[in-house]
């Protein structure tokens, strides 16, 4: 069974989770980039509004061939209690039909359940099967804390 970890990460925390999953589960990694500039305080507001409205964005890569993958992890930071625009766009753009999906979200404090539910609803209406999900709180955590949390979840959710 071939595994892919597909993720977006703005400031690197979701990337720590994605890389830990990849090394533990021997999965391929694809980082989705958002081509809209999302730096600085003003951008944070715009990004929250974009996420809240589920605005689409330009992403790279714009095409991914998923046919070799049976299990796909999709990960995102939580923005305004929603998935990021890059991940909303990826879910609409790529063909997840009949794939098994495990979702993950990172957040500072709250909104993860809502973001996961939104991704789950979108994926299920597109014919994917969401079989598991998890949320990691990143506030005041460094790389090794986030790696440790991810390793604990791999163990407790029996993802290996």
Ligand X SMILES: Cc1cc2nc3c(=O)[nH]c(=O)nc-3n(C[C@H](O)[C@H](O)[C@H](O)COP(=O)(O)O)c2cc1C
Note the residues at the interface with ligand X (CB under 6 A).
Answer: 9-15, 44, 47-48, 77-81, 106-111, 138
In terms of CB distance, is 43 or 132 closer to ligand X?
43
Quick one: tokens of 102? 């495990």
**Nearest distance from C-beta of residue 98 to ligand X, angstroms:** 28
**Nearest distance from C-beta of residue 152 to ligand X, angstroms:** 17
CA atoms within 13 A on the CB side of 13: 20
Quick one: tokens of 76? 């995102």
Identify the DSSP state of 125: H
Q: Could you give the CA distance from residue 70 to residue 67 in angstroms, rounded to a whole number?
A: 8
In terms of CB distance, is 1 or 109 closer to ligand X?
109
**Nearest distance from C-beta of residue 13 to ligand X, angstroms:** 3
Quick one: tokens of 22? 């990849």
Identify the DSSP state of 79: B
**Nearest distance from C-beta of residue 142 to ligand X, angstroms:** 12
Q: Could you give the CA distance from residue 103 to residue 75 in angstroms, rounded to a whole number?
A: 6
**Nearest distance from C-beta of residue 65 to ligand X, angstroms:** 25
Q: Could you give the CA distance from residue 153 to residue 36 in angstroms, rounded to a whole number?
A: 32
In terms of CB distance, is 82 or 122 closer to ligand X?
82
In terms of CB distance, is 44 or 97 closer to ligand X?
44
In terms of CB distance, is 15 or 99 closer to ligand X?
15
Sign of CA dihedral 135, 148, 1, 77: positive
């Amino acid at each position: 069974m071939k595994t892919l970890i597909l993720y977006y990460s703005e400031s690197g925390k979701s990337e720590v989770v994605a890389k830990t999953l990849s090394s533990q589960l021997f999965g391929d990694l694809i980082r989705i980039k958002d081509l809209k500039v999302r730096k600085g305080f003003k951008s944070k507001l715009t990004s929250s509004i974009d996420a809240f409205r589920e605005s689409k964005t330009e992403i790279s890569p714009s095409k991914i061939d998923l046919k070799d993958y049976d299990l796909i992890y999709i990960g995102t930071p939580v923005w305004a209690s929603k998935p990021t625009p890059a991940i909303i766009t990826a879910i609409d753009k790529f063909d997840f039909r009949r794939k098994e999906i495990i979702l993950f979200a990172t957040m500072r404090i709250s909104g993860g359940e809502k973001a996961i539910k939104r991704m789950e609803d979108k994926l299920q209406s597109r014919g994917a099967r969401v079989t598991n999900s998890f949320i990691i709180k990143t506030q005041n955590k460094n790389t090794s804390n986030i790696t440790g949390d991810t390793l604990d979840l791999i163990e407790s959710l029996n993802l290996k």
